[in-house]
Amino acid sequence: MKIHKEGKKIVRIAAFVTIALAAVIVWLLPLHHWALQVSLLFLFLLFFWILWFFRTPSRNINKQDDAFLSPADGRVVIAEETRKEDNSWKTVKQVSIFMSPLNVHLNRYPADGKIISYTYYPGKYMVAWHPKSSQLNERNAIVMETPGGKQIVLSQVAGTVARRIVCYSEEGKHVKQGEEMGFIKFGSRVDVILPVDVELLVKPGDKVRAGLDVLARSRQQTTA
């Protein structure tokens, strides 16, 4: 199992702490005491969960020029037409994906394109599936333009547990569909704001995987 670079330091620290605590517990408790067995089991389960959280599965990206792939593993909590809450208030399509602590937390770009802007917003730490978390929680907003001229917005949103958002976006950078966008540590969500003329192919409750499942497709190319 491959560990993502964002987790290697944490895994090393976790391994050291696990071994140290296990040694203390073995020294303090009788060898066959039930508390020793339960404590050691808890420690090693916690360590293996940390390993599991930072895993990076090997994937063959499902590249499609007319499609917007999922940027995250998780469950779709919003898939609808809505109004963009900025000065334009234009109609857009939004897909929001909630990542539980059991999901892969590596995020990927949903399409080829160029990064137009990257903005960080400090905020609260509401539960990530809450509808208002997109506006109130700590988050970032990545605006990118596809080769076809479509602008999309990607937002990595912190949750109650997630307190560390890592983003690799830089203004002016050209990115590829499925390329690593960033990593969110310990539970969160990703919002995708798409043009209103795309066809959504997912609904709330659907489970999706980054770089593999299609969230939406360009209507123009679908009907051509």
| Residue 188 designated active-site | yes
Query: What's the Cα-to-Cα distance from 122 to each of 77, 97, 100, 110, 169, rounded to whole Å?
Result: 23, 20, 22, 24, 17
- For 186, list phi and psi in degrees, rounded to 5: 80, 50
Which residue is it, tokens 């999309």?
Answer: 152
Residue tagged active-site, from 134, 169, 188, 218: 188
As to burial, measured by CB atoms within 10 angstroms (0-12 exposed, 13-18 middle, 19+ buried), residue 3 is: middle
Asked if 196 and 66 touch (Cβ cutoff 8 Å), the reply is no
- The residues that bridge with 216 in the sheet, in sequence order, are 68, 200
Active-site residue set: 188
